[in-house]
Structure 1
């Protein structure tokens, strides 16, 4: 298990930083310090390693988001506060799922599936927050928040990150207020 973790850690860093197609298995081997034979025993193909990387990223990303939001009194604004913190991290390179999908989605059903599962998991989480907030149409609000998160993440890759997070937060709060006011109408 130790070997698999070392390989996954090295691959995750390299894939997120440089892109999946740009990183070869020999480079993962060198960065992890695991022999190529052992690497392929742990992950029989590059696709299997990419899927494991994305599944691990999903767990860590969602745990970070949900943990941060759970400690805040207003969950929807907290999502965007967390987003701003994430955008400010050293090495921020946007959404690892969208990046991997852009590189491999047309060629790999396994990668498409793990990316879709992540987005569905995020959508379901946002729907739960919208329901807790009393949104008249929690599904619509969740979809709006998801689009804002993904859009802000893409914009933050190429523009001032603080501006992208602030704009997404303002739009998210406006959408939440509109959905709440629809309920009282």
Structure 2
């Protein structure tokens, strides 16, 4: 329980301050634990970031699935509405996973954590769309929105949804 609470606080701190700025002392304060307790659960800053990313992944998937009970195009369009809401509320600086890879390009554990996250998002889009033939395109649109949202905001989601409708229609006629 404490371990998950620490991960949640780390996720919030890294989302707010990025990866370069917060020192371990600042992270300890953000988690409201002693330095010993923090290091007991996460022995390095990289381990702290991985814990934050794993916590965020669970939070993100649960967020995407909230209020969605359908499949097909309506479900996919809903996912993109949820993505817009997520970006506005929790990721105004862009995708935390991609930011982690940019900050720590050589860290294999971090790359693997991000790979698993992205793979699960891709699988979720495939499952909800029930369109294996479009799953990669949907995933690329999702990733594009999360990358450009800090600059374009809602317009990126609106454009992605327009493209989704066009892809859906074009592939339905083939």
Pair in the same fold by TM > 0.5: yes
Runs of 5+ unmatched residues, structure 1: none
Instruction: Give TM-score, length-normalised by structure 2.
Output: 0.90
Alpha carbon RMSD of aligned pairs, Å? 1.9
What is aligned with 2:10? Answer: 11
Please give the residue correspondences for 1:24-173 in structure 2 after superposition, counting only pairs within 5 Å. 24-70=23-69, 74-89=74-89, 92-104=92-104, 106-131=105-130, 135=131, 138=132, 140-159=133-152, 161-173=153-165
1:127–1:162 CA distance, 2 compared to 1 (3 A): same
What do the CA deviations read for 1:75-100 (whole angstroms, capped 9, x no partner)? 12111221222233266222111111
Instruction: Give TM-score, length-normalised by structure 1.
Output: 0.85
Count of aligned positions: 173
Q: Any idea what SS the aligned residue of 1:88 has?
A: helix
Structure 1 position 175 matched with structure 2 position 167: yes
Shift of residue 107 of structure 1?
1.9
* Contact kept in structure 1, 2:94 and 2:146, CA below 8 Å: yes
Q: Any idea what SS the aligned residue of 2:128 has?
A: helix
Structure number, greater radius of gyration: 1
